[in-house]
Structure 1
């Protein structure tokens, strides 16, 4: 039996009183995943799906329109990433709990999600009861992470303190590294070989860089990098 997700923080409320259903917005670009979550939540007392979004921009609009208690947020989505959407949403409605449910378990995405204000991080493929527990915990103001993510966080914060990066802070450390290679005129295959990554992973990072910097070409991205002193 796999261990349940780790809860960081104290539970708020006794749970003995009758409370309104937790209102949930599902933001994910995969329709089958959204439908599966809806089916799971529909048979769970105390939870209610009030809206869906298939990209980050739509998530921002749905959050503003429906004021959910919890948003189940994917990271990689078209139009606007889940991380960018989270920042926009929490800037206007800091009381909303963001629970990231993603297929990515690398440090860059985990810490970027935390920086964006997410209260929890689970991996797609987590057991249904783990997901439901995470939704309830995040609604109560707790921070909850999958066991593997929690161990990574503990290891990271047990290391000596290091200064946060100041150049292009909206990018992750890996994205800044890839952008620096792009600024040297390297192609995606060249970057992939140098960093020991797949070309698909590099392409995904480049797409994320373009989205965060709000540029549409490598030349514009390079210009932004040089202006920032990267």
Structure 2
């Protein structure tokens, strides 16, 4: 019996007090067969099609001032989060993206790198960005304060958005499955159908949240150029 519903997200598997759950963060590539990298197959062509579409979209968002190869940072971010979101949908696999340890580490490191680069190399542009064009003089101090706060909370909103969406679906699946002990056969069939539909919804959420995080990170980086 669980004393706390959120305990399903706690790392529990360990050897010599070393948590093995976080290994799931790095085993996504093991699910890809070796032939994927050598022989052009359907999976390889499909994944390349997705990455090319993402590359073109990120390139358009970054604009003409982008550095060559900067889109690969966000493509790698997309692939990493997508692998971890999908791995968490499998039974008995730890969902690393449901923890702020992972999501906040990613968003905070990206945001800090953008801020350091922007203030060191484009400080005048960063100051101009704090005051939208056409702002009355009397409102300028308030606009600077508002823009500063909205800029500071960006990594937190990115991390919480990903974490909350991953936690919500898993909690709903757990709550539904915990009610199946005293159900009749027909109600159990309905519950299984609901679980399948919810799992399909969670797969869509995993893709959408990955895309949202990647797009927002790209937009944040385009503002410092």
TM range (shorter): under 0.3
Q: Which has the larger radius of gyration?
A: 2
TM-score under structure 1 normalisation? Answer: 0.27
- The structure with the greater share of residues assigned to helix is 2
Q: Which fold has the larger relative contact order, with Cα–Cα distance below 8 Å and residues 6 or more apart in sequence?
A: 2
- The structure with the greater share of residues assigned to strand is 1
